[in-house]
């Protein structure tokens, strides 16, 4: 006997299990590498980017959120710590814009708190009027151009607290700079969201090693669950295959590799059943089935005169038929001749207990008529039950070409 190739389903299961084991090993190895790298390497951005490394828009948001957090906790030291990486101009602009936004929206208490904060930061930061005035003049010109009367007035309130005077916008000129002082670099202003109630609690903490351990454990549990599910599915499939092997066969010789039964009763309309032909190892052979062929003309309950029992062999790509006919239909020469026109079909008269055989390139199919009940006129079926036994032909390869039959099927 020649050695057969492994079944397709077994190969697929082997590949799936191997893939899952590879994924599991990759997750464990990758997670371990990342864990070792993050704990042995001094990362420059381990806690995230520094505030002054953000884009201008995000710097404005950062400053605005710091100011809003002061409205909640009133901790001046936190504001000074978070502002220390920024030059005076962005700080002044952020304070002025937040104060103006609150005042313009009717929240004067918050605006006054921001004004007081600006005055304290002016003292602790050593801001001079020469630095503050250009920023406020620029903002005043912007608000004037917007046509919003509330914002210039609110900005003047901020200016009175910080400078002791209101700001008059100057078009096309910048106020003179005191000798010995250089104005700070002007950063294009963008309008932040007003009324934000967010607080920043300093630099984000570094990634904890327990987080990586949690990720590794989660990956392990997920893959173990998948493997367990595959194991259960395989056991269930094996149990189903074991049930398929329990074939009751009273004939002589090697038992069939498959056995299938179907029952028709009068009024079952439509009636069309089929099943897949395959070996115990899951190798596909073809299909077989039974269906209604001719019915009595004008009958509303589907009175069937004959049935088509068919077999499709995937090796020679042919469909073979046995037309099981009632006594009256079989005696109808026109109907019988119509069947015989097909060289792969054969008409048989339905008699209980009779059998017929269909031979294909790789299979031998025995069709047994277990129960046959006709109406009184013998024209149509009241009941029909058939059993199909599928045998594998000897000396053929079920995959391709001709070779000895595998040992487990001999």
21, 147: one domain: no
What would the mean pLDDT of 323-350 be, rounded to a whole number? 91
- Here the CATH number for the domain that contains residue 131 is 1.25.40
Is the predicted pLDDT of residue 405 greater than 80, yes or no? Answer: no
> Whole-angstrom Cα distance, residue 115 to residue 104?
14
β-pairing, 284-295 vs 304-313, is: antiparallel
61, 28: one domain: no
Classify residue 173: in a domain, yes or no.
no
From the list 157, 65, 163, 60, the residue with the least C-alpha distance to 107 is 157
CA distances from 250 to 172, 253, 355 (A): 110, 10, 13
> Whole-angstrom Cα distance, residue 278 to residue 286?
7
The pLDDT value given to residue 175: 46
Classify residue 27: in a domain, yes or no.
yes
389, 276: one domain: yes
Classify residue 289: in a domain, yes or no.
yes
From the list 100, 85, 170, 98, the residue with the least C-alpha distance to 133 is 170
If one counts the domains in the chain, the total is 3
216, 320: one domain: no
The pLDDT value given to residue 55: 77
The pLDDT value given to residue 246: 57
Whole-model pTM above 0.85?
Answer: no
The pLDDT value given to residue 243: 52
263, 371: one domain: yes
239, 335: one domain: no
Range of the domain at 285: 258-409
């Amino acid at each position: 006997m020649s050695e057969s190739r492994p079944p397709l389903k077994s190969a697929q299961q082997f590949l799936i299990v191997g893939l899952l084991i590879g994924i599991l090993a990759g997750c464990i190895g990758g997670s371990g590498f990342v864990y070792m790298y993050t704990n042995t390497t001094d990362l420059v951005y381990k806690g995230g980017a520094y505030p002054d490394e953000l884009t201008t828009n995000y710097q404005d948001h950062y400053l605005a959120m710091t100011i809003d957090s002061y409205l909640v906790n009133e901790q001046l030291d936190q504001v000074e710590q978070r502002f220390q990486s920024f030059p005076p101009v962005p700080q002044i602009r952020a304070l002025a814009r937040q104060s103006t936004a609150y005042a313009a929206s009717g929240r004067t208490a918050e605006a006054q708190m921001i004004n007081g904060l600006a005055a304290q930061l002016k003292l602790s930061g050593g801001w001079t009027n020469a630095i503050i005035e250009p920023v406020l003049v620029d903002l005043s010109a912007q608000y004037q151009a917007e046509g919003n009367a509330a914002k210039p007035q609110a900005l003047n309130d901020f200016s009175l607290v910080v400078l002791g005077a209101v700001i008059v916008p100057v078009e096309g000129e910048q106020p003179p700079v005191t000798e010995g002082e250089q104005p700070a670099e002007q950063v294009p202003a963008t309008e932040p969201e007003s009324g934000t109630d967010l607080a920043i609690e300093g630099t984000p903490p570094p990634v904890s090693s327990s987080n990586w351990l949690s990720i590794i454990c989660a990956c392990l549990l997920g893959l173990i669950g998948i493997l367990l599910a595959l194991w259960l599915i395989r056991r269930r499939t094996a149990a189903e295959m074991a049930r398929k092997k329990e074939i009751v066969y009273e004939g002589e010789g090697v038992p069939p590799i498959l056995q299938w039964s179907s029952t028709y009763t009068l009024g079952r309309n439509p009636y069309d059943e089929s099943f897949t032909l395959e070996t115990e190892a899951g190798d596909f052979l073809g299909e077989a089935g039974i269906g209604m062929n001719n019915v009595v003309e004008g009958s509303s309950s589907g009175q069937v005169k004959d049935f088509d029992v068919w077999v499709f062999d995937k090796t020679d790509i042919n469909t073979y038929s046995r037309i099981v006919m009632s006594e009256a239909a079989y005696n109808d020469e026109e109907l019988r001749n119509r069947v015989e026109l097909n060289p792969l079909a054969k008409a048989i008269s339905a008699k209980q207990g009779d059998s017929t055989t269909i031979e294909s390139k790789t299979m031998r199919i025995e069709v047994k008529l277990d129960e046959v009940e006709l109406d009184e006129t013998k024209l149509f079926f009241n009941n029909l039950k058939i059993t199909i036994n599928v045998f594998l032909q000897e000396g053929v390869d079920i995959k391709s070409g001709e070779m000895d039959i595998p040992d487990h099927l001999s």
